[in-house]
Amino acid sequence: MSKKVRDYPKLASDILEAVGGKENIANATRCATRLRLVLKRSDPKAKKKVSEMPGVITVVENNGQFQVVIGQHVGEVYDNFASLVDLETGDNEESGQAKGTILNRVIATMSAVFAPFIYILAAAGILQGMLILVTLLFPAFEQTGTYEVFSFISWAPFTFLPIFIAITAARHFKSNVYIAVAASAALVSPTWTEIAGRIADGETITFLGLALSETVYTSSVLPPLFMVWMLSYVEKFLNKRMHEVVRPLFVPLISLVIMVPVTILLIGPLSTIGANGIANGYNFLAENVPALAGALIGAFWQVLVIFGVHWGITPMVLANFDLYGRDSFQAYQTIAVVAQIGAVLGVVLRARNQETRKVGVSAGVTGIFGITEPAIYGVTLRFKKPFLYGCIGGASGAIVASFFNPYYFAYAGLPGPLTIVNAIGAESPSSIWGVLIGCAIAIVIPVVLIGIFGYGEDTAKDASGETLENTSSTSSTNQNEESIEAPLAGNIIPLSQVPDEVFSSGAMGQGVGIEPESNRVTSPFDGTVVMIAPTKHAIGLRSESGIELLVHVGLDTVSMDGAPFTLKVKEGDKITKGQELIEFDDSQIKEKGFVTTTPVIITNADEFEAVVIRDTQKPTGTEPLFTVVK
């Protein structure tokens, strides 16, 4: 019954089929949690189909993108998806462009360019934060060779950022990656840095009679991005007009000879002025009305995350670090992230449902690393109120923090609790206190608001004022969860305590054992009978949503040749929740020296994000036995 563990090729193939096949894909990229597709034609049914697939958290359509929120396994899905649509070899001129407005295209491009290496920047930022903390505790450490080595390691990804951008931008714009890297390497060459330094000191240096500027491109964002964009058109022009015999040599040669000088003469200075202008505009607001800047970022940052447009701010943040060595946006952004963690904590503390608490804990852990999509889609936005309370907490915390001149002095790829130390800096000693106090407020406010007003669980009532009960075949707290009740009454024990290694080891799947108090096995959901053992002691079921359940009555009862068992259904039968499946004589089983302990196993558990098992050592009662998170 069980299928391949973590079948990412199948999920990628299913998504591709649902969105219209390879010919409907204009572009595909990914970020930390999402597969981002640009479709040539939209299908209204595709969103529902994909969102219901096991392994998919939800689907967001925004900015010309079809965004499939998958979570931490998005990399594996993307790799398989890319191989299906030949992303690396496509030459469609549309393929690198997102559809829709110019703003949509800009945001889609930023996501495609920065998402693949954001964890590299995040790792470097955390290393810088650790160095800040260590030197704060041990000032003499800054004078050691060990500090110097770790320091240049932490700065290397930012120094050579244009090369990272060249790789991902070339893939996005369908340009030759190696030509793009060669051109960007020229921009960060120590020789050019030395030339730019001489120009800054007053020397006039020209190229073909045109004066060169003092712009330096280490840590730059927009110059290499625009360069690769224009390079893609130069390449296409040359490839169409040059003979294939000389093309491999002369396309790179001519491309480099054209694009590097054009960039240092025109593209670089103009794009740098633009990026610095945007950064200075934000800084003007943050320095003159800091409370307003904090409130806006604290309240609405996670709204931008929902729609996947948050990548558009990255060039501005990096420009701040390049210009001033600090940035206040990420300080406020951290508080917004912590606020959503606080909202999840409030739900966990208030929830009466064990499954809701467990899902909340899992989502909260990912938030610690600065990734809030699981928290948003799995908990806060699902119940609506917690998301709103998180936004209120984020705004409140950021407003209070604004009075302490908060800054980050090291770039954080994924701002969150782990990067708070990046706020430590001699230039603004109060900064760290502002961020800490702001984060504390951002946690407390959602917890308090949820404690007072609740979060929306079990509040739907019918006209008579009674709480509504879910009468569907499988109760569900949202479209991505399915609850399964026990197939027979009795006391639940952990699977590890079942005295049969085949089951207790988990080799058959995740589940529990039940010590029966009745002699009837009933269906826990609407579905199909897919297997009945010839000796009638075990039955396999599949729900309408694809969950596969094995009920094995007793241990070693196969040797009884079906004597104590009476079947009420046959293989292939459609079944409904509560329908009787098997009746057994428990006294006859015990007389023959066998135990009636009944393993209940979800055999395809690895196809789902999680299987939450209710508390054991208790009677089955009316609580769900399992909650499957898809």
Q: Is 31 annotated as catalytic?
A: yes
Other CB atoms within 10 Å distance of the CB of residue 395: 26
Beta sheet of 34-39, edge-to-edge order: 25-30, 34-39, 65-69, 58-62
| Strands annotated E in 48-160 | 58-62, 65-69
Residue 454 structure tokens:
């609740």
Which of 353, 350, 332 has the alpha carbon at shortest distance from 342?
Answer: 350
End-to-end CA distance of the chain: 18
Phi, psi of 308 (to 5 degrees): 70, 20
State the DSSP string of 91-103: --TTTT---S-HH
CA distance 318 to 325: 9
Q: Name the residue with tokens 């980050």.
A: 408
- Cα(85)–Cα(468) distance, integer angstroms: 46
* Contact of 175 with 228, CB cutoff 8 Å: yes
Tokens of 326: 């600090």
CB 93 within 8 A of CB 49: no
d(CA 235, CA 259): 10
Q: Residue 512 burial by CB count (10 A; 0-12/13-18/19+): exposed, middle or buried? A: buried
3-state helix, strand, coil in the chain (%, to 5): 55, 15, 35
CA-CA distance, 68 to 59, in Å (whole number)? 5
DSSP 8-state code for residue 132: H
Residue 422 near residue 372 (C-beta atoms within 8 A): no
Cα 293 to Cα 519: distance, rounded to the nearest angstrom: 66
- For the residues of 175-231, what is the DSSP string, one character each? --HHHHHHHHHHHT-HHHHHHHHHHHTT---EETTEEPP----TT-SHHHHHHHHHH
DSSP 548-612: EEEEE-SSSGGGGTTTTEEES--TT-EE-TT-EEEEE-HHHHHHTT----EEEEETTGGGSSEEE
- Find the catalytic residue in 16, 26, 31, 297: 31
Concatenate the DSSP letters of all residues of 270-311 into one string. HHHHHHHHHHHHHHHHHHHSHHHHHHHHHHHHHHHHHTT-GG
Beta pairing class for 598-602 and 548-552: antiparallel
Nearest-CA neighbor of 543 among 484, 456, 477?
484
The span from the CA of 238 to the CA of 243, in Å, is 9
- Report whether 598 contacts 573 (CB < 8 A): no
Residue positions annotated with a catalytic role? 31
